[in-house]
Amino acid sequence: MAFILHGIAVSGGIAIGRAHLIAPAALEVAHYLVPLEHIEAEVHRFDDAVATVVNELYSVESELPADSPPEFAALLELHRLILQDPLLSEEPQNLIRERRYNAEWALTQQLQAAVAQFEEIEDEYIAARRADVAQVVERVLKVLTGTAGDLGLSSPGDDVVIIAHDIAPADMMQFKKRVFGGFATDLGGATSHTAIVARSLDIPAVVGVGNAARLIQQDELVIIDGDAGVIIAEPSAIILEEYRHKRRHLELQRDRLKRLRYMPARTLDDAPIELHANIELPSDCAMAVEVGATGVGLYRTEFLFMNRSGQLPDEEEQYLAYRSVIDAMGGAPVTIRTLDVGADKSLDGEAPVDSGNPALGLRAIRYCLSEPQMFLTQLRAILRASAHGATRLLLPMLAHVQEIDQTHALLDQARAQLVARKQAFDPAMPVGGMIEIPAAALSLSSFVKRLDFLSIGTNDLIQYTLAIDRTDNAVAHLYDPLHPAVLHLVAHTISVGHRANLPVAVCGEMAGDARLTRLLLGLGLREFSMHPAQMLSVKQEVLLSDLTHCQAVAKKVLASGEPQRIRALVAGLARGTTST
Ligand code: PEP
Ligand code: MG
């Protein structure tokens, strides 16, 4: 009989296939006491197994294709470091010698100690790395028990789905040739390395299912719905047909979208549109390049500053991070936003300054200007990175033009310091401002005189216009991108910016919502910045849009103050059914 299991959706798509179960070696290890005369041989057996896995990790790394996402190599290195930690590489030797445990037993004993150590760490990211420790140990156990080296698949293919308690990233590398339809694991969360690798491999995947490896039988027919985070075992004929249909539909859609990757984003009436990526970490560039982003429109640098126990990144570390983004984008423009902490983004779990209302407190540019030395360090790092490729500096949360003037003064200081140090930078690096506070949108004429470009942060613009805390569930239903006030501010910013000959982008979530693409085009937007995963569907909308039509409908939208009418017009515009 069919049954459904729920987990965390980490990689979209639908896989239908026979289950192949990968048994966790840790659950099956033998426990026995080694005879005294065999102790040293047992220690050698253990050392050999560790060395085999270390070599294996090196060799997987050396065989990584040049275009592999950088996190693959980082993961392999992390696993090597874990394995070479004395807790795992030396303590088991002591257990073999002192307690006569067999190698497998000694290792699993240490696994528990290592995992317990990680569990004590409060940092969510580091605590999640205990899964990596378990995966490394699992690999050594498989060598010790002679089950390593293959995933036990005699006839791999798209019609096989992997069900496992957990899958090591190094094993995931073997999935690169896409011989499996998809996979589901009992363990793992959205930040687990397995999930990270799965996402970049583009295999339908669900993790954190809990009991899949226990409830699903070998060769049972399974559907993995990587969009809904659901697995269905032994589906009925009707469910199966429905999912086959859905899969065909999705495959067609994805294939069609992928073909758009290198196609220039131009509307039907041939207007060029820039589609840029929002990134949080340098490693996000791989996906941005993959989907054909023509630049980075928003690099949220604050992620480099978080969870560091008060130890902020120094100039060199920042410079290297910013430069790696510029290098990865291969000459496409990179927009680096200065530190935007405060409100829901705190450095170490604390708001920079205790505040009753952090969204209205000392955040973003306000915080930076109150910490001039820290800000100067970031400005120098960004300036130095600008010597390596087209770089733009973006200031968040501007409300007062003095904030721009003060930043320009600090930039002059930073440039003078670099000149004194004989360090290179782009003297003409453009400086832009985020328009995300209504006050800035409504007094733009003085802002545009001081800036080289504008970027509309609709996430905050909506928050501050509608007086809705964007993190508060209780008012989430009132968060409305189509509120007439929001649309007027967006339209006004685009038109004033363009009249002053400044490029204007939208980098808030509105830019990545394909249902709003035509409306934004109609409002005059020519530069969109969004999460790379959204880019191809937005590009598809751009390619099918006729600007004259979009402009005519957008005009009607702005003229109407009625929410229902606005919604109907925008939905019709997106579907291509609204006439002008
Ligand atoms: C925004 O506010 O729209 C924006 C892009 O910035 P963030 O989401 O990082 O606040
Ligand atoms: Mg913002």
Mean pLDDT value of segment 495-522: 95
pLDDT for residue 465 is more than 90: yes
- In this prediction, residue 177 has a pLDDT band, given cuts at 50, 70 and 90, of very low
Give CA torsion, residues 405, 406, 409, 410, to 10 deg. Answer: -140
Mean pLDDT value of segment 41-70: 85
Q: What is residue 401's three-state secondary structure? A: helix
The CA 35 to ligand 2 mean position distance, Å, reads: 66
What is the reported pLDDT for 22?
76
What is the reported pLDDT for 10?
77
**For ligand 1, atom 8, which residue shows the shortest CA distance?**
459
Please tell me which residue, 203 or 504, carries the higher pLDDT value. 504
Atom index in ligand 1 nearest the CA of residue 457 equals 3
Which residues are near ligand 1 (CB < 6 Å)?
298, 300, 340, 436, 457-460, 507-508
pLDDT for residue 274 is more than 90: yes
- In this prediction, residue 74 has a pLDDT band, given cuts at 50, 70 and 90, of confident
Mean pLDDT value of segment 368-383: 97
- In this prediction, residue 34 has a pLDDT band, given cuts at 50, 70 and 90, of confident
The CA 505 to ligand 2 mean position distance, Å, reads: 13
Pocket test for ligand 1, best of 304, 397, 434, 455 (most atoms within 8 A of CB): 434
Q: Say which ligand is closest to the CA of 506.
A: 1
* Cα 244 to Cα 237: distance, rounded to the nearest angstrom: 10
**Strand pairing class (180-185; 3-6):** unpaired
Q: Say which ligand is closest to the CA of 471.
A: 1
Q: pLDDT (tens digit, 9 = 90+) per residue, 208-252?
A: 888 888 899 888 999 999 888 899 999 999 999 999 999 999 888
Q: Read off the DSSP letter of residue 514.
A: G
Mean pLDDT value of segment 25-52: 83
Element (H, E) at 103: helix 103-119
Atom index in ligand 1 nearest the CA of residue 278 equals 5
pLDDT for residue 68 is more than 90: no
Q: Which residues surround ligand 2, an ion (CB under 5 A)?
A: 436, 457, 460
pLDDT for residue 35 is more than 70: yes
pLDDT for residue 414 is more than 90: yes
The CA 485 to ligand 2 mean position distance, Å, reads: 18
For the ranges 87-101, 125-139, 349-363, 446-460, the lowest mean pLDDT is seen at 349-363
What is the reported pLDDT for 492?
98
Per the listing, tokens 């310091």 go with: 417
What is the reported pLDDT for 547?
97
Mean pLDDT value of segment 277-286: 88
| Residue 148: closest CA among 57, 211, 263 | 57
- How many Cβ atoms from other residues are within 10 Å of residue 266's Cβ? 14
The letter for the amino acid at 37 is E
Mean pLDDT value of segment 375-394: 98
Per the listing, tokens 């003297």 go with: 427
| Residue 136: closest CA among 26, 44, 10 | 26
The CA 436 to ligand 1 mean position distance, Å, reads: 8
Q: What is residue 571's three-state secondary structure? A: helix
The CA 457 to ligand 1 mean position distance, Å, reads: 5
**Whether 490 contacts 434, CB under 8 Å:** no
CA-to-CA dists, residue 259 to 252, 274, 537, angstroms: 11, 18, 11
**For ligand 1, atom 9, which residue shows the shortest CA distance?**
300
Pocket test for ligand 1, best of 339, 437, 459 (most atoms within 8 A of CB): 459
* Cα 453 to Cα 89: distance, rounded to the nearest angstrom: 55
Average confidence score pLDDT of the chain: 87
Residues 6+ apart with CB under 8 A from 376: 410, 413, 414, 417
Please tell me which residue, 352 or 558, carries the higher pLDDT value. 558
Atom index in ligand 1 nearest the CA of residue 396 equals 6
CA-to-CA dists, residue 72 to 69, 184, 192, 197, 554, angstroms: 6, 20, 13, 7, 45
- Residue spans of alpha helices (H) in 182-334: 193-201, 212-215, 237-258, 285-290, 302-305, 315-328
State the DSSP string of 446-498. Answer: HHHTT-SEEEE-HHHHHHHHHT--TT-GGGGGG--TT-HHHHHHHHHHHHHHH
What is the reported pLDDT for 351?
46
- In this prediction, residue 158 has a pLDDT band, given cuts at 50, 70 and 90, of low
pLDDT for residue 475 is more than 90: no
Query: What is the set of active-site residues?
Result: 193, 507
- Give the total residue count for the chain: 580
pLDDT for residue 448 is more than 90: yes
For the ranges 128-137, 259-268, 420-429, the lowest mean pLDDT is seen at 128-137
Domains of the chain: 3-24+36-253 (3.50.30.10), 264-575 (3.20.20.60)
